[in-house]
Amino acid sequence: MTIKRRCAGASFATWLPGSWLPLFPAAVRGHVLATNWVVGFVQISDCRIRCAAAPNTDTPGTLREAIGLVAVQKRQGAALILHTGDVSQLPKPAQVDTAQQIIREVGLDAHHVPGEHDVLIDDRAEFFQRFTPGAPRGWYSFGQQGARFIGLNNVQDLKAGGLGNLGAEQLAWLERDPAGRAASQPIVVFAHVPLWLVSAEWGWGTDDGAQALGFLRRFDPVTVLNGHIHQVMQKVEGNLAFHTAFPQPALGTAPSPGPIRDLPAGRLRATLGVTRIARVEGRAGLAIADTPLGA
């Protein structure tokens, strides 16, 4: 679950042999959890803490609700959190403190990559020192329970129209990092801006994303997670499955990719929620179910 330009949330993902299956608590089934899974994790994105403009004037509150749902997932075996950027509205210590304290309440290790709001002002070191202390440039990888996780930074050199960019140095690192690993190892890539081109006009894509993905195509399976665009989109290219976070505005339904500011009174909680997405190898398409925080 991601909350538009003013919200907070989480989508839940569980790796299973031969498939990937993001879950929300209401959809957990015993036979799924009894499967010999590789690793369970939770994605959180675009908390934008302390952005107190309408329609969401309590971003800490909605983030705390989402973390409550994450706690349920932890009890079912989730091992870590991936945060795909925009922790706070501005990278100011008070805002970042609030977000970090709420996320820590669940007691899971959290791994972060920056969003553009995390590095908007000159003191960009605040984000990296706090959230990626071993990776001062914001990109890194780690292994857990048989899967390889790769965090990328595509927000510090935005291109024309706001397209993300990785740059030559990061691409060279990405080519080296998985070298020598078995092609059957599950790979999870997480970044803020989509690595695939959703809309050049709206800046929804990464200028050199195709090159980055080319380094990973020999692996099966690969899942690519992002935030930023505040709506659900899925794309499958061979053994690569892409998933963005909930919810809108939908592409082409507004003059720009900015926030929705005219929600009717009482409709906010209906636009915030958790998404369940299932893709099983050998089956076409994705099964998607949204559960809002409220009616």
Residue 291 is predicted with a pLDDT of 60
Judge whether 75 lies within some domain: yes
Judge whether 87 lies within some domain: yes
Query: What confidence tens digit (pLDDT) does each residue in 169-187 have?
Result: 999 999 999 999 999 888 8
Query: What confidence tens digit (pLDDT) does each residue in 236-275 have?
Result: 655 555 555 554 555 555 665 555 666 666 766 676 665 5
What 3-state class would DSSP assign to 149?
strand
Q: Which residues pair with 83 in a beta bridge?
A: 44, 112
Q: Residue 181 is part of a domain; what is its CATH number?
A: 3.60.21.10
The dihedrals phi and psi of 139, each to the nearest 5 degrees, come to -120, 145
Per-residue pLDDT band at 110 (split at 50, 70, 90): very high
Judge whether 72 lies within some domain: yes
Cβ-proximal residues to 262 (8 Å cutoff; 6+ apart), any chain? none
Per-residue pLDDT band at 221 (split at 50, 70, 90): confident
Judge whether 4 lies within some domain: no
Tell me, rounded to whole angstroms, the distance of Cα 263 from its chain centroid.
24
Query: What confidence tens digit (pLDDT) does each residue in 149-170 have?
Result: 999 999 988 887 889 999 999 9
How far apart are the C-alpha atoms of 5 and 13, rounded to whole Å? 22
**Region 88-106: what's the mean pLDDT?**
84
What 3-state class would DSSP assign to 144?
strand
Q: Which domain holds residue 108?
A: 10-292
CA dihedral 228, 10, 50, 129 (to 10 degrees): -80
**pTM of the predicted model as reported, rounded to 2 decimal places:** 0.74
Residues, the chain, total?
295
Judge whether 257 lies within some domain: yes
How far apart are the C-alpha atoms of 89 and 185, rounded to whole Å? 36
Cβ-proximal residues to 30 (8 Å cutoff; 6+ apart), any chain? none
Residue 23 is predicted with a pLDDT of 32
Residue 214 is predicted with a pLDDT of 92
Average pLDDT over the chain reads: 72
Query: What confidence tens digit (pLDDT) does each residue in 61-78 have?
Result: 878 887 887 787 787 777
Residue 249 is predicted with a pLDDT of 53
How far apart are the C-alpha atoms of 209 and 197, rounded to whole Å? 8
How far apart are the C-alpha atoms of 36 and 272, rounded to whole Å? 32
Judge whether 216 lies within some domain: yes
Judge whether 14 lies within some domain: yes
Report whether pLDDT(118) > 90.
no
Residue 192 is predicted with a pLDDT of 92
Q: How many domains in the chain?
A: 1
Report whether pLDDT(21) > 60.
no
- DSSP category for residue 187: E
Strand (E) or helix (H) holding 44? strand 40-44
Judge whether 1 lies within some domain: no
